[in-house]
Amino acid sequence: MTVRVLAFARVREVLGVSESVLNVPSGARLCDLWATLCEQNPELGPLTSSTRTARNGHLADSTEILEQDDEIALLPPVGGG
Amino acid sequence: MTVRVLAFARVREVLGVSESVLNVPSGARLCDLWATLCEQNPELGPLTSSTRTARNGHLADSTEILEQDDEIALLPPVGGG
Amino acid sequence: MFAIVREPIDVSAVEDAARIPGAGASVTFVGIVRATGEDGRSVAGLSYESYDAMALAEFEAIAREARERHGGIGLAIVHRRGELKVGEIAVVVSASAPHRAAAFAACSYTIDELKSRAAIWKKELYVDGTPGRWCSNAGEART
Amino acid sequence: MFAIVREPIDVSAVEDAARIPGAGASVTFVGIVRATGEDGRSVAGLSYESYDAMALAEFEAIAREARERHGGIGLAIVHRRGELKVGEIAVVVSASAPHRAAAFAACSYTIDELKSRAAIWKKELYVDGTPGRWCSNAGEART
């Protein structure tokens, strides 16, 4: 199963890409996706508590189960204006 | 002795002119000038309590004594903005 | 920029004039002639007159006060006089400051004080042709 | 008008878009790139990025809230993204209303909420070439 991952600001810089399509096992939750990303990119770890996640344009709980073609956005603390 | 009188808004309409040069007796006070104007223009009477007076660009007390060439402005309640 | 003008006001020029070096925020108030008068009657326009010397001195006094309260701010005030139609701009107040709290406060303070203190008068002219009426800000609630 | 744009923002166009019929007051906030960073360092510019879909949805949500609080108001929000130099305009919020209290309150509410909620990020770029720093509004005092 694949999901699209959008990353912004510091999280984007750590991942090195703003957008990617990732394979995730069926039944995986948002927090599993984040954990996988942290394993591959240890610098993400310290950002865990400050990074919120949106699923298909809406803030999501980390326990939500991913579905095929979900658009997952990784959102550091905002700084607009 | 003469003073220049500037009138605005409703007071200007009652006097019929925005600017005039008036003869005043030596020693006359601001309130004497107003009283004279009220005699000549009875419609001014009801405006007495709401009209402030400036002398040479500064709000003045009605007991101040007029001097030659004073610029006296008759100021109804303001309504700018 | 402190001015009373006969011609339409260029809002951008007032904003620019108020902009200080180091500004992070600019707040601009624009006052527009409304179609509805104070007593609900349909307004065709407003006629403004001013005692320019005193009004401009008051603009500068208000600006001094705003600077005392809010520190290093930039401020510009332009008021129009003459006959204005509904929808036309009567007054523009612009304030700039390093941060937005001061810019909002200075702009709001300035228009409140201008309305209550500056030697400017306004007559409502009605669509139905009934005699115009001089409007006072005396009873108006401060914002 | 709710937009995130790459090009310089036309402040007048945002003001015009926010203008409702019956408006007696328009209040416009302009956010400008400052030369001094959050920690006092000299800033060469800011780099903004955004998640446009979520940011625009948030602009509309904030506008709905402002209308619920302040009645018949007009509101427009335009934010810029990309690299901005010191002195350039990053955001414009304009509100119009029959009277000025609502216009001031709606404009102020909107910029406060935008800064704390919209999916927009800002990196300070420094004159001395040291690595840029992502800035969060989380700790910022509301005005």
Assess contact for B75 and C117: CB atoms under 8 A: no
Sheet holding C2-5, edge to edge: C2-5, C74-80, C89-97, C25-32, D25-32, D89-97, D74-80, D2-5
Domain extent, residue D69, equals 2-136
Tokens 């612009």 correspond to: C94
Contact D101 C24 (CB under 8 A): no
| CATH code, domain with C132 | 3.90.1170.40
Q: Give the mean model confidence (pLDDT) for residues C37-41.
A: 91
CB contacts, 8 Å: D36 with chain C:
22, 98
Angle at C123 between CA C117 and CA C128, to 5 degrees: 155
Quick one: pLDDT band at residue D142, thresholds 50, 70, 90?
A: very low
Query: Whole-number mean pLDDT of chain D?
Result: 95
Residue D143: per-residue pLDDT: 39
Residue B61 has pLDDT above 70, yes or no: yes
Alpha-carbon distances, residue C139 vs C25, C59, C116, C117, C118 (angstroms): 32, 21, 10, 13, 15
Contact D136 A8 (CB under 8 A): no
Domain residue ranges of chain B, discontinuous segments joined by +: 2-75
Alpha-carbon distances, residue A23 vs A41, C37, D122 (angstroms): 16, 65, 30
Contact C29 D143 (CB under 8 A): no
- The minimal CB distance from C101 to the residues D27, D103, D143 is found for D143
Residue C140 has pLDDT above 80, yes or no: no
Q: What pairing do the DSSP bridges indicate for beta strands C2-5 and C74-80?
A: parallel
E strand or H helix at C43, and its extent? strand C43-50
Q: What pairing do the DSSP bridges indicate for beta strands D89-97 and C133-135?
A: unpaired
CA dist D137 and D140 (Å) reads 5
Helix, strand, coil percentages in chain C from 3-state DSSP, rounded to 5: 30, 35, 30
Residue D139: per-residue pLDDT: 67
Return the residue in C54, C59, C78, C108 with the most chain B beta carbons within 10 A, the one to mutate for interface testing.
C54
CB contacts, 8 Å: B81 with chain C:
31, 79, 90-91, 111, 114-115, 120, 122, 137
Contact C90 B81 (CB under 8 A): yes
For residue D142, is it within any domain? no
Closest-CA residue of chain D to C95: D29
For D141: left if phi > 0, alpha if psi spans -120 to 50, otherwise beta; the answer is: beta
For residue D143, is it within any domain? no
Q: Per residue in A15-48, pLDDT tens?
A: 999 999 999 999 999 999 999 999 999 999 999 9
The DSSP annotation for B11-59 comes to HHHHHS-SEEEEE--TT-BHHHHHHHHHHH-GGGGGGTTT-EEEETTEE
For residue C28, is it within any domain? yes
Quick one: pLDDT band at residue B3, thresholds 50, 70, 90?
A: very high
Query: What is the DSSP code (8-state) at residue A45?
Result: G
How many folded domains does chain D comprise? 1
Percent of chain B predicted with pLDDT > 90: 100
Q: How many CB atoms lie within 10 A of CB B50?
A: 13
Residue C139: per-residue pLDDT: 67
Distance to chain C for B31, nearest Cα, Å: 20
CA dist C9 and C2 (Å) reads 12
Assess contact for C45 and C125: CB atoms under 8 A: yes
CA dist D12 and B80 (Å) reads 24
Residue D138 has pLDDT above 90, yes or no: no
For residue D13, is it within any domain? yes
CATH class of A2-75: alpha beta
- Count how many Cα atoms sit within 13 Å of the Cα of residue C42 in the half-sphere of its side chain: 4
Tokens 């402190």 correspond to: C2
CB contacts, 8 Å: D51 with chain A:
6, 8, 54, 73, 75
Q: Per residue in D80-121, pLDDT tens?
A: 999 999 999 999 999 999 999 999 999 999 999 999 999 999
Backbone angles phi, psi at C136, to 5 degrees: -105, 145
Q: Give the mean model confidence (pLDDT) for residues B65-81.
A: 97
Q: What tokens were used for C64?
A: 């001094």
Q: Per residue in B14-40, pLDDT tens?
A: 999 999 999 999 999 999 999 999 999
For residue C119, is it within any domain? yes
Residue C142: per-residue pLDDT: 45
- B14-39 burial string, b = 16+ CB within 10 Å, else e? bbeeeeeeeebeeebbbebbbeebbe
